[in-house]
Amino acid sequence: MPKLNVEQIRKDFPILSREVKPNVPLVYLDSTATAQKPLSVIEAMNSYYRLSNANIHRGVHTLAEEATALYENARDRIAKFINAKSSKEIIYTRNATEAINLVAYSWGRANIKQGDVIVLTEMEHHSNLVPWQMLAAEKNAKIEIIPVTDDGELDLTVYESILKLSPKIICVTQMSNVLGTINPIQQMAAKAHAVGAMMMVDGAQSVPHFAVDVQTLGADFLAFSAHKMCGPTGIGILWSRQQVLEAMPPFLGGGDMIKRVYLREFKANDLPHKFEAGTPAIAEAIGFGAAVDYLTAVGMDFIHDYEREIIAYAIERLEEVPGIKIYGPKAERKGGIAAFSFGGVHPHDVAQILDSDGVAVRAGHHCAMPLHDRFKLPATTRASFYLYNTKSEVDKLIEGLYKVKKMFG
Amino acid sequence: MDDMYREVILDHYKNPRNKGTLDPADFSFEDDNPLCGDRIRIDVRVGEDNKVKEVAFSGQGCAISQASASMLTEHIIGKSLDEVKQLSKDDILELLGIELGPVRLKCALLSLKVLKAGVYGIKDED
Ligand SMILES: Cc1ncc(COP(=O)(O)O)c(C=O)c1O
């Protein structure tokens, strides 16, 4: 079996050979925020603008045909990437956030009534909290929370008792963008479905890092963003089953989402166009297609195995540094993310000093304020890893942390 | 950007001047920078001459926000309230002696924001 060849992979990403300042190469440990892009993605978008740029659908000229084919072919490949039954189940959105908002507006406003229970978790990204809080406030619905244990896992005993309240929807991330926790979606979905609840899964961190198959996942809705999986910003996906999407009212109104418009009413278009109003992000969709091609060619299982190796090494080395406390489950139970505190040193200072050696990490609450409240932290420093990171980059991180220690110790 | 952590900044961070609270104070204000969780409170006592007599700051945050608060408190003792109102971003940067990007600038300016809100008599919501 060919293992992942990281040196070869690094050559595919032009940005990885840049220096942050003279003689200081980039060590990019912030892929959880956004991943770098391989040349094939950049070239696919470039080539669309150089050769095929036209608005899609309805045009009959050559460029419009080409652009439409490129845009729709990308959708087909994304459908295949998550094993959707049909491309009709793949709705292009701006990002994972918009995909979740689409569900909260369209499905939510049609199905949530006063007093209904919406279940969220303490480890959600703000994008899987706020749209539901807005819906709950509007409908006078109740929010129940699955808490996070000290080990950084969902407290499934509390989940069991919440299910007795007959909730309407469970909104949960497949992988935490802070703790790296990979949640047991299949098991949670089976229980949710047994009480008639829908399952909204935030796949922003899972879909980029391991194979996600919607036929076995158990989700009713899955949201993810291209930019976290080697694709461009400005495009994401909402997946749901055709039957569910057909029953949902349209979201944004305008061109492309209609079959027929009269002066006082309209007929909505068929899936997936019903949810895609206006001129979409065409180049970005094409870039997204190239990104899933790239990840498929490398192999999602290889990527996952490789990241497990890197995170195990990173955690082992981080634990050597006195004063570091890593949040979340043990290495073997999580994805390639290490969020940590460092004694009394503020994450901003940690990140700033690391930056002077070219090491890019993130400092802050990572759009998960309630989770930081849970651990009584204003912020953490987060290093995250992807297919192009190496163990020697982990070593650079550790060297930088010793420098921080020296400066602030 | 190692010079961001100049000796004098680290010194103010590790040995903050005027750290604590004043009770009672003539005015107090507290605010945070939600981006990074920095939080600063400033208490001020004003003398008969309408000049800052005593000042104390408390809170937590990164070296830049804490050092700039410490330097700012030292800087304003003996200054009139009108002079305090005139303080600007450039004064803080001059005290710190460094250049800052847009993200860290927010950290550096938090104490000034808090102080000004206090001087202008904006009510502390908390
Ligand atoms: C777990 C999780 N959910 C949702 C999002 C939102 O992604 P986007 O900003 O691309 O919509 C992120 C990105 O930070 C994330 O990590």
> Structural domain of residue B44, as residue ranges?
7-119
Average pLDDT over residues B104-114: 92
Instruction: Please report where in the chains the tokens 């793949």 appear, as a residue.
Output: A90
Inter-chain CB proximity B64 and A372 less than 8 Å: no
List A134, A258, A360, A367, catalytic entry: A367
Q: Is B105 on the interface with A (CB under 8 A)?
A: no
User: Ligand 1 mean position to A284 CA, how many Å?
Assistant: 17
Residue tagged 């079959």 (tokens) = A259
A66 at B interface, C-beta within 8 A:
no
Enumerate the residues of chain A whose CB falls inside 8 A of the CB of residue B10: 407-408
- Contact check, Cβ <8 Å, B1/A352: yes
**Which residues 376-395 on chain A approach chain B with CB closer than 8 angstroms?**
377-379
Reply yes or no on whether the pLDDT at B6 is more than 90.
no
Tens digit of each residue's pLDDT, chain A (409 residues):
468 899 999 999 999 999 999 999 999 999 999 999 999 999 999 999 999 999 998 888 999 999 999 999 999 999 999 999 999 999 999 999 999 999 999 999 999 999 999 999 999 999 999 999 999 999 999 999 999 999 999 999 999 999 999 999 999 999 999 999 999 999 999 999 999 999 999 999 999 999 999 999 999 999 999 999 999 999 999 999 999 999 999 999 999 999 999 999 999 999 999 999 999 999 999 999 999 999 999 999 999 999 999 999 999 999 999 999 999 999 989 999 999 999 989 999 999 999 999 999 999 999 999 999 999 998 999 999 999 999 999 999 999 999 999 998 7
Sign (positive/negative) of CA torsion A46, A47, A48, A49? positive
> Which is higher by pLDDT, B5 or A149?
A149
* pTM reported for the whole predicted model: 0.94
Q: Is B107 on the interface with A (CB under 8 A)?
A: yes
Whether the pLDDT of residue B102 is over 90: the answer is no
Q: How far apart are the C-alpha atoms of B57 and B8, rounded to whole Å?
A: 18
Say how far apart CA A58 and CA A69 lie, in whole Å. Answer: 12
Between the CA of A361 and the centroid of ligand 1 the distance, in Å, is 17
Residue among A102, A225, A288 to mutate when testing ligand 1 (max atoms within 8 A of CB): A225
**What's the CATH number where B64 sits?**
3.90.1010.10
pLDDT at B124 over 50: no
> From A348, which residue of chain B is nearest by alpha-carbon distance?
B62
Distances (CA, A) of A175 to A212, A286, A334, A337: 12, 26, 8, 10
Which pLDDT does position B1 carry in this prediction? Answer: 47
Q: What is the pLDDT of residues B48-60, one digit of tens each?
A: 999 999 999 999 8
Within a domain: B125: no
pLDDT at B100 over 90: no
B5 contacts: CB under 8 Å, gap ≥ 6: A349, A352, A353, A407, B63
Instruction: Give the range among A25-34, B21-30, B32-41 with minimum mean pLDDT.
Output: B32-41
The alpha-helical segments, DSSP class H, found in B60-101 are 63-76, 81-86, 89-96
Using the Cβ of B110 and the Cβ atoms of chain A, whether some distance falls under 8 Å is answered with no
CA distances A240 to A91, A96, A126, A274, B115, Å, are: 9, 13, 21, 13, 52
Q: Output the pLDDT for position B2.
A: 57
Which listed CATH number (3.40.640.10, 3.20.20.150, 1.20.910.10, 3.90.230.10) goes with A42-297? 3.40.640.10
Count up the domains in chain B and report the number. Answer: 1
pLDDT score at B126: 43
Q: Could you say which of 3.30.200.20, 3.30.1300.10, 3.90.1150.10, 3.90.180.10 is the CATH number of the domain covering A6-30+300-408?
A: 3.90.1150.10
Residue B110: pLDDT above 60? Answer: yes
ipTM beyond 0.90? no
Question: What is the b/e burial string over A256-275, where b = at least 16 CB atoms within 10 angstroms of the residue's CB?
Answer: bbbeeeeeeeeebbebbbbb
Q: Is A367 a catalytic residue?
A: yes
| CATH 3.40.640.10 in chain A, residue ranges | 42-297
Q: Which of chain B's residues have a Cβ under 8 Å away from the Cβ of A355? A: 1
